[in-house]
Amino acid sequence: MNKLQAGFARVTITPMMGINISGYYQERIADGVLDDLEANALALACEDKRAVIISCDLLYMPLDVANVCKKDIAAATGLPQEAIFLHGTHTHTGPILKMDSEKPLEQEYIQQLRHKLVDVATFALADLKPAKMGWAIGEAPNIAFIRRFRMKDGSVRTNPGVNNPEILEPIGSVDERVNVVRFDREGADSIVFVNFGDHPDTVGGCKISCDWPGFLRRTVEKALDNVKCIFVNGAQGDVNHVNVWPTGGYLNDTFNDFDDVSRGYGHARFMGRVVTGGVLQVFDKVKYVDVESLNFLQRAIQIPSNMPTPEEMEEARYINEMHAAGRDEELPYKGMLLTTMVAAAARKIQLEHGPEFFEMKLSGLAIGEVALVGIPGEPFTGIGRGLKESDEFALVMPACCTNGAQGYFPMKDAYDEGGYEAGTSRFKAGVAELLIEEGKALLKDL
**How does pLDDT run across 354-407, given as a tens digit for each residue?**
999 999 999 999 999 999 999 999 999 999 999 999 999 999 999 999 999 999
Please name the amino acid found at residue 31.
D
Q: State which H helix or E strand residue 41 sits in.
A: strand 38-46
**How does pLDDT run across 233-244, given as a tens digit for each residue?**
999 999 999 999
- The residues pairing with 363 across neighbouring beta strands, listed in sequence order, are 298, 374
User: Which DSSP symbol is given to 387?
Assistant: H
Q: Which residues of 257-281 are buried (b: 16+ CB within 10 A; e: fewer)?
A: bebbbbbbbebbbbbbbbbbbbbbb
Instruction: Name the pTM for this structure.
Output: 0.94
Cα–Cα distance, 257 to 250 (Å, whole number): 16
Residue-level pLDDT at 24: 86
Contact 141/274 with Cβ under 8 angstroms? yes
Residue-level pLDDT at 23: 85
Residue-level pLDDT at 26: 84
Residues (pLDDT < 50) of the chain are none
Cα–Cα distance, 176 to 411 (Å, whole number): 19
